[in-house]
Chain A
Amino acid sequence: GDSVTQMEGPVTLSEEAFLTINCTYTATGYPSLFWYVQYPGEGLQLLLKATKADDKGSNKGFEATYRKETTSFHLEKGSVQVSDSAVYFCALSDPGGGGGATNKLIFGTGTLLAVQP
Protein backbone atom coordinates (compact mmCIF):
# COMPACT_ATOMS: atom_id res chain seq x y z
CA GLY A 1 0.00 0.00 0.00
CA ASP A 2 0.88 3.67 -0.11
CA SER A 3 3.43 4.90 2.41
CA VAL A 4 5.64 7.83 3.36
CA THR A 5 9.11 7.59 4.89
CA GLN A 6 10.81 10.62 6.38
CA MET A 7 14.06 11.11 8.20
CA GLU A 8 14.00 10.58 11.90
CA GLY A 9 14.69 13.39 14.28
CA PRO A 10 15.27 15.28 16.24
CA VAL A 11 17.07 17.68 13.95
CA THR A 12 18.88 20.34 15.94
CA LEU A 13 20.16 23.43 14.13
CA SER A 14 21.48 26.84 14.98
CA GLU A 15 19.54 29.88 13.84
CA GLU A 16 20.24 30.81 10.18
CA ALA A 17 21.43 27.29 9.32
CA PHE A 18 20.26 25.44 6.20
CA LEU A 19 17.53 22.87 6.70
CA THR A 20 16.81 19.67 4.78
CA ILE A 21 14.27 17.08 5.92
CA ASN A 22 14.16 14.07 3.62
CA CYS A 23 10.91 12.45 2.53
CA THR A 24 10.31 9.57 0.12
CA TYR A 25 7.05 7.94 -0.83
CA THR A 26 5.47 4.84 -2.33
CA ALA A 27 2.17 5.18 -4.16
CA THR A 28 0.11 3.19 -6.64
CA GLY A 29 -1.24 6.20 -8.52
CA TYR A 30 -0.28 9.83 -9.03
CA PRO A 31 -0.36 11.35 -5.56
CA SER A 32 -0.34 14.91 -4.38
CA LEU A 33 2.39 15.59 -1.82
CA PHE A 34 2.26 17.78 1.26
CA TRP A 35 4.28 19.09 4.14
CA TYR A 36 2.38 19.83 7.35
CA VAL A 37 3.74 21.52 10.46
CA GLN A 38 2.60 20.95 14.04
CA TYR A 39 3.54 23.49 16.69
CA PRO A 40 3.38 22.43 20.35
CA GLY A 41 -0.21 22.05 21.56
CA GLU A 42 -1.69 22.80 18.16
CA GLY A 43 -3.20 20.89 15.26
CA LEU A 44 -1.59 20.37 11.89
CA GLN A 45 -1.18 23.26 9.49
CA LEU A 46 -0.55 22.89 5.78
CA LEU A 47 2.89 24.30 4.98
CA LEU A 48 3.11 23.59 1.26
CA LYS A 49 1.99 21.16 -1.40
CA ALA A 50 2.71 19.94 -4.92
CA THR A 51 0.23 18.12 -7.12
CA LYS A 52 2.32 16.78 -10.01
CA ALA A 53 5.85 15.85 -10.95
CA ASP A 54 8.40 18.70 -11.03
CA ASP A 55 6.05 21.07 -9.20
CA LYS A 56 7.70 23.12 -6.48
CA GLY A 57 5.67 24.02 -3.41
CA SER A 58 6.81 27.00 -1.35
CA ASN A 59 5.67 28.97 1.67
CA LYS A 60 7.33 31.05 4.42
CA GLY A 61 10.78 30.39 2.96
CA PHE A 62 10.26 26.61 2.86
CA GLU A 63 10.43 24.75 -0.46
CA ALA A 64 9.95 21.20 -1.69
CA THR A 65 10.07 19.79 -5.22
CA TYR A 66 8.02 16.79 -6.37
CA ARG A 67 10.57 14.36 -7.84
CA LYS A 68 8.83 11.43 -9.50
CA GLU A 69 12.06 9.76 -10.65
CA THR A 70 13.35 9.50 -7.08
CA THR A 71 9.88 9.41 -5.43
CA SER A 72 10.97 12.19 -3.11
CA PHE A 73 9.67 15.47 -1.70
CA HIS A 74 12.45 16.84 0.49
CA LEU A 75 11.75 19.95 2.57
CA GLU A 76 14.35 22.75 2.52
CA LYS A 77 14.80 26.19 4.01
CA GLY A 78 17.82 28.40 3.51
CA SER A 79 17.89 30.04 6.92
CA VAL A 80 15.89 28.67 9.85
CA GLN A 81 14.61 30.71 12.76
CA VAL A 82 13.83 29.76 16.35
CA SER A 83 10.14 30.15 15.50
CA ASP A 84 10.46 27.28 12.98
CA SER A 85 10.88 24.80 15.85
CA ALA A 86 8.05 22.28 15.41
CA VAL A 87 7.28 18.80 14.13
CA TYR A 88 7.16 18.48 10.35
CA PHE A 89 5.10 15.80 8.61
CA CYS A 90 5.39 14.69 5.02
CA ALA A 91 2.14 13.31 3.59
CA LEU A 92 0.56 12.09 0.38
CA SER A 93 -2.96 11.98 -0.98
CA ASP A 94 -3.51 9.32 -3.60
CA PRO A 95 -6.87 9.50 -5.39
CA GLY A 96 -6.08 6.17 -7.00
CA GLY A 97 -5.23 4.51 -3.73
CA GLY A 98 -8.75 3.28 -3.10
CA GLY A 99 -10.75 3.38 0.10
CA GLY A 100 -13.34 5.81 -1.21
CA ALA A 101 -12.37 8.83 0.82
CA THR A 102 -11.45 12.08 -0.82
CA ASN A 103 -8.41 13.92 0.49
CA LYS A 104 -7.33 10.93 2.60
CA LEU A 105 -3.81 11.67 3.77
CA ILE A 106 -1.07 9.17 4.55
CA PHE A 107 1.52 10.67 6.86
CA GLY A 108 5.11 9.95 7.70
CA THR A 109 6.14 9.63 11.32
CA GLY A 110 7.20 13.26 11.65
CA THR A 111 10.53 15.00 12.21
CA LEU A 112 11.09 17.22 15.22
CA LEU A 113 13.07 20.35 14.37
CA ALA A 114 14.69 22.27 17.22
CA VAL A 115 16.34 25.59 16.31
CA GLN A 116 18.67 27.11 18.88
CA PRO A 117 19.44 30.85 19.05
Chain B
Amino acid sequence: ETGVTQSPTHLIKTRGQQVTLRCSSQSGHNTVSWYQQALGQGPQFIFQYYREEENGRGNFPPRFSGLQFPNYSSELNVNALELDDSALYLCASSRTGVDEKLFFGSGTQLSVL
Protein backbone atom coordinates (compact mmCIF):
# COMPACT_ATOMS: atom_id res chain seq x y z
CA GLU B 1 0.00 0.00 0.00
CA THR B 2 1.61 3.27 -1.12
CA GLY B 3 1.42 6.26 1.17
CA VAL B 4 0.44 9.86 0.51
CA THR B 5 3.09 11.66 -1.52
CA GLN B 6 3.43 15.39 -2.03
CA SER B 7 5.51 17.43 -4.43
CA PRO B 8 7.59 19.45 -4.36
CA THR B 9 9.01 19.14 -0.86
CA HIS B 10 10.25 22.72 -0.78
CA LEU B 11 9.35 25.77 -2.84
CA ILE B 12 10.37 29.42 -2.83
CA LYS B 13 8.16 32.03 -4.47
CA THR B 14 7.89 35.80 -4.43
CA ARG B 15 4.90 37.85 -3.41
CA GLY B 16 2.22 38.08 -6.11
CA GLN B 17 3.21 34.85 -7.86
CA GLN B 18 1.06 31.77 -8.24
CA VAL B 19 1.91 28.27 -6.99
CA THR B 20 0.61 24.73 -7.56
CA LEU B 21 1.19 21.96 -5.03
CA ARG B 22 0.50 18.32 -5.83
CA CYS B 23 -0.65 15.32 -3.84
CA SER B 24 -1.05 11.65 -4.68
CA SER B 25 -3.53 9.88 -2.44
CA GLN B 26 -2.96 6.59 -0.71
CA SER B 27 -4.18 3.68 -2.81
CA GLY B 28 -7.93 3.11 -2.44
CA HIS B 29 -8.63 6.52 -0.91
CA ASN B 30 -11.32 8.70 -2.49
CA THR B 31 -11.09 11.90 -0.43
CA VAL B 32 -8.33 14.48 -0.20
CA SER B 33 -8.05 17.24 2.38
CA TRP B 34 -5.56 20.10 2.44
CA TYR B 35 -4.22 21.81 5.55
CA GLN B 36 -1.96 24.82 6.12
CA GLN B 37 0.47 24.65 9.04
CA ALA B 38 2.15 27.93 9.90
CA LEU B 39 5.35 27.84 11.93
CA GLY B 40 4.64 26.90 15.52
CA GLN B 41 0.93 26.38 14.89
CA GLY B 42 -1.40 23.46 14.38
CA PRO B 43 -2.64 22.60 10.90
CA GLN B 44 -5.67 24.54 9.68
CA PHE B 45 -8.23 23.04 7.31
CA ILE B 46 -8.24 24.64 3.86
CA PHE B 47 -10.70 22.43 1.94
CA GLN B 48 -11.60 18.89 1.04
CA TYR B 49 -12.35 17.17 -2.27
CA TYR B 50 -14.55 14.12 -2.77
CA ARG B 51 -15.57 12.76 -6.18
CA GLU B 52 -13.77 15.68 -7.83
CA GLU B 53 -16.00 18.25 -6.08
CA GLU B 54 -15.14 20.58 -3.22
CA ASN B 55 -16.76 19.10 -0.12
CA GLY B 56 -16.21 21.67 2.57
CA ARG B 57 -13.96 24.67 3.01
CA GLY B 58 -12.25 26.38 5.90
CA ASN B 59 -11.72 30.09 6.46
CA PHE B 60 -9.46 30.70 3.44
CA PRO B 61 -9.97 33.25 0.64
CA PRO B 62 -10.94 32.26 -2.93
CA ARG B 63 -7.36 32.65 -4.15
CA PHE B 64 -6.86 29.23 -2.55
CA SER B 65 -8.36 26.73 -4.97
CA GLY B 66 -8.04 23.06 -5.70
CA LEU B 67 -8.71 20.18 -8.01
CA GLN B 68 -9.19 16.46 -7.60
CA PHE B 69 -8.58 14.18 -10.58
CA PRO B 70 -10.27 10.88 -11.51
CA ASN B 71 -7.34 8.96 -10.03
CA TYR B 72 -8.00 10.85 -6.76
CA SER B 73 -4.76 12.84 -6.91
CA SER B 74 -5.14 16.51 -6.12
CA GLU B 75 -3.71 19.98 -6.61
CA LEU B 76 -3.74 23.03 -4.39
CA ASN B 77 -3.39 26.34 -6.22
CA VAL B 78 -2.67 29.63 -4.54
CA ASN B 79 -2.85 32.87 -6.54
CA ALA B 80 -1.43 36.28 -5.68
CA LEU B 81 0.87 34.90 -2.99
CA GLU B 82 1.26 36.88 0.21
CA LEU B 83 4.05 36.71 2.78
CA ASP B 84 1.64 35.11 5.27
CA ASP B 85 1.13 32.19 2.90
CA SER B 86 4.56 30.91 3.95
CA ALA B 87 3.79 27.61 5.68
CA LEU B 88 3.90 23.84 5.47
CA TYR B 89 1.03 22.58 3.30
CA LEU B 90 -0.19 19.12 4.21
CA CYS B 91 -2.32 16.81 2.13
CA ALA B 92 -4.31 14.01 3.75
CA SER B 93 -6.28 11.22 2.11
CA SER B 94 -9.07 9.10 3.49
CA ARG B 95 -11.90 6.80 2.52
CA THR B 96 -15.26 8.52 2.90
CA GLY B 97 -17.90 6.09 4.03
CA VAL B 98 -15.41 3.67 5.52
CA ASP B 99 -13.64 5.26 8.46
CA GLU B 100 -12.38 8.59 9.75
CA LYS B 101 -8.69 7.88 9.54
CA LEU B 102 -6.63 10.46 7.70
CA PHE B 103 -3.25 9.59 6.23
CA PHE B 104 -0.97 12.61 5.91
CA GLY B 105 1.83 13.30 3.49
CA SER B 106 5.11 14.88 4.59
CA GLY B 107 4.06 18.25 3.22
CA THR B 108 5.35 20.98 0.95
CA GLN B 109 7.25 23.79 2.66
CA LEU B 110 6.36 27.03 0.86
CA SER B 111 8.38 30.18 1.46
CA VAL B 112 7.10 33.47 0.05
CA LEU B 113 9.67 36.24 -0.14
Contact = CB atoms under 8 A, between A and B. Distances in A.
Interface of A: 4, 32, 41-46, 49, 89, 91, 93, 99-110
A43 B90 contact: yes
B94 interface: yes
Interface of B: 4, 31, 33, 35, 40-45, 47-48, 50, 55-58, 90, 92, 94, 96, 100-102, 104-107
B45 A100 contact: no
Contacts of A93: 100
B45 A101 contact: yes
15 contacts: A42-B106, A43-B106, A44-B104, A89-B43, A102-B48, A102-B55, A102-B100, A103-B100, A103-B102, A104-B33, A104-B58, A105-B102, A107-B42, A108-B42, A110-B42
A102 B50 CA distance: 9
A104 B42 contact: no
B43 A105 contact: yes
Contacts of B47: 101
Contacts, number: 71
Contacts of B42: 4, 89, 91, 107-110
Contacts of A4: 42
Name the residue among B33, B47, B90, B102 with the largest chain A CB count within 10 angstroms. B102
Contact of A100 (B56, B100, B105): B56
Nearest to B47: A101
B43 to A, nearest CB: 5
Given A43-B4, A99-B56, A100-B55, A109 B41 contact: yes
Name the residue among A42, A43, A105 with the largest chain B CB count within 10 angstroms. A43
Contacts of A103: 31, 33, 48, 94, 96, 100, 102
B44 A107 contact: yes
A46 B57 contact: no
B5 to A, nearest CB: 10
B45 A46 contact: no
